[in-house]
Structure 1
Amino acid sequence: MSSSCGSRPPALRPAGSGTPAYGLSVEEVLELSTLAGARLVAGAGGLDRVVQRLNVMEVPDVLACVKPHELLLTTGYPLRHRPETLGRLVADLDACGLTALAVKPGRYLDRLPDEMLQQADRLDFPLIRLPEDAGFDDILNQVLTGVLNRQAAVLARGEEVHRALIQIVLCGGGLQEVTDEVATLLDAAVAVLDGDGRRLAASGDEALLARLQSALTDVPPAVEGEVPMPEVLPDVPPADVAPVWPTDAAPGEPAPDPAGPVTCDDDPGTGPISVPVVAGGFTYGRMAVAGVAAADVGILERVATVVALVITKQQAVSAVESKYRADFLRDVLTGRSGADEHVIAHSASFGWDLGRSATVVVAALDRGPARGPEERVLQDRLVAAWTSAVRRRDRNAAVAGFSGEVVAVVAADACDVPALAKDAAAVFADQDRTFSTGVSRVAQQPGDLPSAYDQAIRAVRVGRQMNGDGAVVHFDELGVFRLLSLVEDTAELHAFVRETLGELAGDQDPEAVDLRRTLQVLLETNLNVAETARRLHFHYNTLRYRIGKLERLLGPFTDDAHLRLNLTLALHVLRMRGI
């Protein structure tokens, strides 16, 4: 007899399916009065298996009729002429997810073969010997009644928990209030994690929370108060870093997959369990629970639905608040917000301090593969990354997402921009796209912020032209590039380069590129031949020969200061990318 049922379902199944909450364990079934004379003859290791339905074996080829979590009753009549197949039957039924097999020997089977008993013990498949006077109708009636009563009790319990949580939501409670109530009702430890495994809320006994630590070891640090969203909304105000448990995972490291229910222990009654938090087809994260009673496991999916409701509500509120903050900051940076006193007072209501000396930082996505609708998601991820990085150093900084960029107004004495950009890049963690960062001079008062904002924008644009994607540039580092960037007619700049450098303007001829490099170093060293020869690793006479060749191509630049200036400007233009 061959199996056509596939592999047996795991012993610990997703919440709400195959748990004792939705049936009776084999051990409980054996305690019923109709099985008073029954004996477990093999498979004692499977007493905790769950019975959710019953079936009677009437035909030899029963595999096509059985279902997982069934208790199968048989007299052995269909196999009376083939007792040698009983050993294989146990393995096939176990592969189909059957819970147990109850046999009433005597009339058609004199005894259960040793091979059958050995297979049952090996697979922890409960094999029950029924007394000769056992009635299948009595067993079916009593076991099914017990299963239905158990399921009714679970549904009533679930309804009770659901009503309690909905009442919290209707009264304005948030994730923390919901997790507090769940931890109390289920006497368990509960943590709600976002899609990256970061904590949003947690409640329960510390010892039980420690069990989650051992089960979920890759959880990265969290910014408390963040709300997971399909499109991360800008400027969600985070608080201190507060992981559920200590962790060494760095920002950007992969978190456990929240895509589906994951159980983390061998005991569904006590082991840590993870349930996805899903709404509208989008997975917002997951809910991890430790210490939940076996009878309450099936309730967790209902709880996860309420958690998703709270998250989507917070998402809607955050969307409105974030837009309001971003609009106000945009008015400040464009000089439309009014007097400094008004700006300072209004910004304080957002937790911002715009009355101090500050620096404006602008970060913008670099050009990359077109992603269509995903571009907005990338922009929102950039906002979230910069918000997290900035707030960890300056809780009173203003951070907002504008179209195509993120803007932060950071205290001048707290503005370590290279470190900020590095932290933001670690959180952003996108392999295909980078961002460039521009930094302004210090603005002493709110009225200076519009000018500082213009400086930061120019630093981003010109810095990217100077250094390529991923540049971090301060406005004061731009030098002459600031002036060159003001020339809007790029064709005129290209013409100037061709007229000034001649044959050295292109990149097609390797010799021309090499000579242009020699010219650049000569100008950087103020025509110091010895220093130029040292930097380029040339012999002194070789460099003198090259200088003569350059003057034949470009003119007597060693004697003409104006020509040297033109050549320097042309080389600067060539360095600017994207013109």
Structure 2
Amino acid sequence: MTEWNTENSSCPDPVDAAADHPVFHPVLFADVLSSPLLPEPTVVTGDVTAARDVTNVAVMVLPDIGPWLRPGQLLITSTTVLSRLVGPASDFVAMLDRRGAAALAVRLDDASPLPEGLAAAAASLAFPVVTITADHSADSPFADGLPEMAARQIDAVFRADHTRRVLLDIVMGGDGHAALADGVARELDGAVLITTPDGRQICGAGDESALHRLAASAAIDSTGRFRTDSTEGGLGLHRLGGDHLAVSAIWANGIDHGRLVLFSPARSLTSEDLYLVEQAATVCALVVDRELAVSAVEEKHRANFVRDLLLGRGGKPEHVIAHAKTFGWDLDRPVVVVAVEPDLVGDDTASAPARLPVVERQARAFTGAVTSRDPGAAVTVLATEIVVLMGQGSDTMTVVHEFVAQVRGAGGGGRQPFSVGVSRASASVADLPALYAQARTAVQVGRRISGTWAVTHFDDLGVYRLLSLVEDTDELESFARETLRELAEDTAEAQDMRRTLEVLLATNINIAEAARQLHFHYNTLRYRVAKLEKLLGSFTAHPELRLDLSLALKIIAMRGINS
């Protein structure tokens, strides 16, 4: 088991894995190699003297060894088992190294060679691989518990086969995640959560008191998300005080679609439990595949309809309203358009699990958050953005901030930043194209002014609304540079002086108030005013120049000049 890493919460205790996996004080790999444990070892790759210290020994009798892997582990297997690996041998070695294993010992069955690519991959990682001519010695003290471990792995295979059969019957019956969660909870004897990759809960099952206990634990953040912001997405075995968790990814078509979580307040979970959870997750992936296939067709029709509306070619208002009702949307009321666009901060890194495009992941999150507050709202993906058509009310912006906070969560878990723009309310569905333009303007200008995670209403843009209508952006930037002169440069001094000028203009050249806001001495600010007037002209005496300077500062803020 591993320690659970969380942000802004008290971390659960590290796990003493002795009951699940025998461990001992660190021993040099060279000393293990010279012990009676491994018969006639031959070093294939790696520097024995530079290898990680060995703290535990494990056997691998089935290819899915992941649940039994531990840091500092000497893993013993055979070419027969390695020949059954599903993926490339190079990926297997990379996993061992990533998980902190010390070395791999392989018994050569019938003189069978190592799998293709294994030795080369190990050599590139300087990961030690040795071959042996027979089974490990049962008399060695390092072999303590290995026969029992092999037996548990084999037993887990039979238990997993039974569990898969039960869950497949549920899937074949047409049921979805809720029924699957119930089946997993019964088969594995614990409380179960199924979540998205970033931890939003899709459904739960099992004992209610256990679910409440899990909800109050450090595994769930303040917004109700399951924490996936620890190493490798929170996967593996974890301990929360006296409670235990087993977490597996739900993979479908090579894409990470979520987490299957088993929680047990009554018993310690072992590597075998984690293996069963991983196998159950493969059945959950079948439901994901099925639901994705159906929703892809439905979403295409919804997106095409919304796109036509926003382009002004939806047809007569009465036809639009009637068609929207077939999707469950209520457009026969004042509506605001909310545009959500992911911020460009570099989405998934090459080392991260493969996921759906960020805009699709965020669309799923917004669908749940928005429709729980407004069941008649429309949420759809248009290329690289999400568009929400929701009812207008006296507290529209409060509702927007609430569902944005729900989607954003408490941080971590791979949540990607996004910006939000909100339009005015419609008088008719014929207004939607203009409102969409307002929402897009609010997104783009709000991001330039406030940075990532901006939530901006069109009416809050002020003069930025007018500046955003100027199509010749080169002319705007030219005006800003000509007006601000040296202050438009990309230097720390220029930025500092622009800040001084901005506060002076905002306080209507009230030097005492500006000095207080800037934390300057009064005489220091008077010196700065003199310096600014030498650069820019006598703006303290000319209102027209102050207007030009104010506009130039806003152009720089909006267009991101030198930012």
Scaled by the length of structure 2, the TM-score of the pair is: 0.60
The one-letter amino acid paired with 2:484 is L
User: Aligned to 1:342, which of 309, 313, 319?
Assistant: 319
Partner of 2:262, secondary structure, is strand
* 1:339–1:532 distance in 2 versus 1, CA, 3 Å: same
Instruction: Please list the CA deviations of residues 241-276 of structure 1 after superposition, one character each: whole Å capped at 9, or x if unmatched.
Output: xxxxxx9865656379688775989xxxxx987676
C-alpha separation in 1, matches of 2:65 and 2:521 = 77
* 1:380–1:218 distance in 2 versus 1, CA, 3 Å: farther
User: Aligned to 2:285, which of 300, 308, 320?
Assistant: 308
The one-letter amino acid paired with 1:98 is P
> Do 1:4 and 1:64's aligned partners in 2 also have CA atoms closer than 8 Å?
no
* 1:276–1:360 distance in 2 versus 1, CA, 3 Å: closer
* 1:64–1:422 distance in 2 versus 1, CA, 3 Å: same
Alpha-carbon offset, residue 437 of structure 1: 1.8
Taking the TM superposition and a 5 Å limit, the aligned residue runs for 1:457-476 are 457-476=440-459
Cross-structure match for 2:431:
448
> Do 1:459 and 1:473's aligned partners in 2 also have CA atoms closer than 8 Å?
yes
Partner of 1:98, secondary structure, is helix
> Do 2:335 and 2:390's aligned partners in 1 also have CA atoms closer than 8 Å?
yes
Cross-structure match for 2:358:
378
The one-letter amino acid paired with 1:193 is I
C-alpha separation in 1, matches of 2:216 and 2:231 = 7
Identity %: 39
Cross-structure match for 1:398:
378
| 1:286 aligns to 2:260 (yes or no) | yes
> Do 2:480 and 2:488's aligned partners in 1 also have CA atoms closer than 8 Å?
yes
Cross-structure match for 1:94:
144
C-alpha separation in 1, matches of 2:173 and 2:284 = 15
The one-letter amino acid paired with 2:421 is G
Cross-structure match for 2:192:
191
The one-letter amino acid paired with 1:464 is R
The one-letter amino acid paired with 1:570 is A
Cross-structure match for 2:171:
169
> Do 1:400 and 1:406's aligned partners in 2 also have CA atoms closer than 8 Å?
yes
C-alpha separation in 2, matches of 1:514 and 1:183 = 60
User: Aligned to 1:423, which of 406, 412, 415?
Assistant: 406
C-alpha separation in 2, matches of 1:546 and 1:553 = 11
C-alpha separation in 2, matches of 1:261 and 1:159 = 20
Cross-structure match for 1:317:
294
The one-letter amino acid paired with 2:389 is V
C-alpha separation in 1, matches of 2:135 and 2:360 = 50
C-alpha separation in 2, matches of 1:350 and 1:310 = 22
Cross-structure match for 2:14:
none
* 1:418–1:4 distance in 2 versus 1, CA, 3 Å: same
| 1:568 aligns to 2:550 (yes or no) | yes
Alpha-carbon offset, residue 457 of structure 1: 0.6
The one-letter amino acid paired with 1:351 is G
Partner of 1:288, secondary structure, is strand
Alpha-carbon offset, residue 183 of structure 1: 6.4
Unaligned runs of 5+ in 2: 1-33, 39-53, 69-131
C-alpha separation in 2, matches of 1:564 and 1:300 = 67
* 1:262–1:446 distance in 2 versus 1, CA, 3 Å: same
Partner of 1:325, secondary structure, is helix
> Do 2:421 and 2:440's aligned partners in 1 also have CA atoms closer than 8 Å?
yes
Instruction: Please list the CA deviations of residues 316-365 of structure 1 after superposition, one character each: whole Å capped at 9, or x if unmatched.
Output: 21222233322222222332222333333332333332222232222222
Cross-structure match for 1:115:
none
Alpha-carbon offset, residue 471 of structure 1: 2.3
Cross-structure match for 2:111:
none
C-alpha separation in 2, matches of 1:273 and 1:371 = 25
Which one has the largest radius of gyration? 1
Instruction: Please list the CA deviations of residues 434-457 of structure 1 after superposition, one character each: whole Å capped at 9, or x if unmatched.
Output: 322222122233222222211111
Alpha-carbon offset, residue 419 of structure 1: 3.6
Using the TM superposition, name which of 476-485 and 324-333 deviates more. 324-333
Give the CA RMSD over aligned residues. 4.9
* 1:336–1:262 distance in 2 versus 1, CA, 3 Å: same
Cross-structure match for 1:254:
229
Alpha-carbon offset, residue 535 of structure 1: 4.3
Taking the TM superposition and a 5 Å limit, the aligned residue runs for 1:230-249 are none
Partner of 2:147, secondary structure, is coil
Cross-structure match for 2:37:
4
Taking the TM superposition and a 5 Å limit, the aligned residue runs for 1:26-425 are 65-66=134-135, 89=139, 91=141, 94=144, 97-99=146-148, 166-180=168-182, 186=187, 188=189, 191=192, 193-194=194-195, 195-196=197-198, 199-203=201-205, 218-220=218-220, 254=229, 262=237, 277-281=250-254, 284=257, 285-286=259-260, 288=262, 304-369=281-346, 377-413=357-393, 414-416=396-398, 417-425=400-408
> Do 1:551 and 1:557's aligned partners in 2 also have CA atoms closer than 8 Å?
yes
* 1:251–1:438 distance in 2 versus 1, CA, 3 Å: farther
> Do 2:199 and 2:225's aligned partners in 1 also have CA atoms closer than 8 Å?
no
Cross-structure match for 2:48:
none
Unaligned runs of 5+ in 1: 19-62, 73-88, 101-146, 222-246, 266-270
C-alpha separation in 2, matches of 1:542 and 1:322 = 61
Alpha-carbon offset, residue 406 of structure 1: 1.9
Partner of 1:176, secondary structure, is helix
Cross-structure match for 2:480:
497
Q: How many residues are aligned here?
A: 428
C-alpha separation in 1, matches of 2:501 and 2:278 = 71
* 1:577–1:66 distance in 2 versus 1, CA, 3 Å: same
Cross-structure match for 1:437:
420
Cross-structure match for 2:105:
none
Partner of 1:410, secondary structure, is strand
